[in-house]
Amino acid sequence: MRLVSPVPVVDIGPLLEGPAPDVERAIDSACRDRGFFVITGHGVDQRLVDDLDAAARGFFALDELAKEPFAMRHGGSAWRGWFPLGGELTSGRPDQKEGLYFGEELPAGDRRPMHGPNLIPDIPPQLRGLVLEYLDRLTALGHLLVGAIDRALGADERLVAITADPLVLFRIFGYPPQRDGWGVGEHTDYGLLTMLHQDDSGGLEVRDGDQWVEVPPVAGSFVCNIGDMLDRATGGVYRSTAHRVQNRSNRYRVSMPFFFDPGWEARVERIVGHAPSAGGANDRWDGADPHLFDGTYGDYVWSKVGKVFPDL
């Protein structure tokens, strides 16, 4: 069953000037209630967002022969580049989308998986500059939001500490119109905080018990949701909420999720709340329980992404 019920919309403009208790309480309430919220007043130039959306569409419109030099198999363990329609799996099933994978621009000598130089297409030529600027702006926004969440939780900067050198992952996805199936099947995000630009096509849905709630586009906003590691850090006080996408419009849909996650070597420990009761993951999409994991965030995310692209 689907319901159309907007998630909370929070104007975070006051945070740009410093701590803002009213804004922090609103974000905290949304994280406890649904795990999703929409932010406005974030300070990211809309022209940058629009230009990047347009450049991505220009790349996706190319034929596969032109895109192949930028395929992820050329990106090595840095996990960067393009994948074709159906090239990414969710719960073992191919998604009905194609995409580009980016991350923090780092030297080629970085030996950590999912770290290194980007493989950014040179068609259209403005794409590289736009991607790198977007990475900088959304990374700064991630630090701002995690600081606000830390204060709302009374976490004494422990969330700030594990994201001092964050794992930053940026995706641009393109979804053709769909009659059936899913652009992205039901899933939760692995990390701490996701900031999503979605165009005006709609199609994003969030699980609410045994129902699905549509998240309608709000102009000039980002949709934010918490991931498994913030669920873990709060002992389930914040829940990593399942979501999915189906492009039921008659247009090509572009979305741009930005993942602001703990550092590769960070160990995410519980900072508030209590240990969830046994069997607390039974209602999750995959039956897994991030609270039982023992290791670094790098261990966690690397164990997950191998199932998304098994051929790599």
Q: How far, in Å, CA of 188 to CA of 44, rounded?
A: 25
Closest residue by Cα to residue 113 from 264, 310, 271, 296: 264
The CA-atom distances, in angstroms, between 252 and each of 57, 86, 200, 247 are: 9, 15, 10, 8
Q: Indicate the pTM of the whole model.
A: 0.94
312 found inside a domain:
no
Range of the domain at 117: 2-307
* pLDDT on residue 103: 98
Cross-strand partners of 213: 3, 206
Alpha-carbon distances, residue 256 vs 168, 192, 230, 265 (angstroms): 13, 17, 21, 26
- Backbone φ and ψ for 120, nearest 5 degrees, come out as -100, 125
- Evaluate whether residue 123 is within a structural domain: yes
Residue 292 lies in a domain: yes
195 in a domain, yes or no?
A: yes
Answer whether residue 164 is part of any domain. Answer: yes
pLDDT 10s digit of each residue in the chain, 312 long? Answer: 444 457 899 999 999 999 999 999 999 999 999 999 999 999 999 999 999 999 999 999 999 999 999 999 999 889 999 999 988 888 778 889 999 999 999 999 898 999 999 999 999 999 999 999 999 999 999 999 999 999 999 999 999 999 999 999 999 999 999 877 788 889 999 999 999 999 999 999 999 888 999 999 999 999 999 999 999 999 999 989 999 999 999 999 999 999 999 999 999 999 986 656 544 444 666 667 888 889 999 999 998 887 888 777
* CATH label of the domain that carries residue 131: 2.60.120.330
Instruction: Indicate whether 84 belongs to any domain.
Output: yes
pLDDT of residue 278: 47
Number of domains in the chain: 1
- C-alpha 159/C-alpha 150 separation (Å) is 6
What was the pLDDT predicted at 285?
60
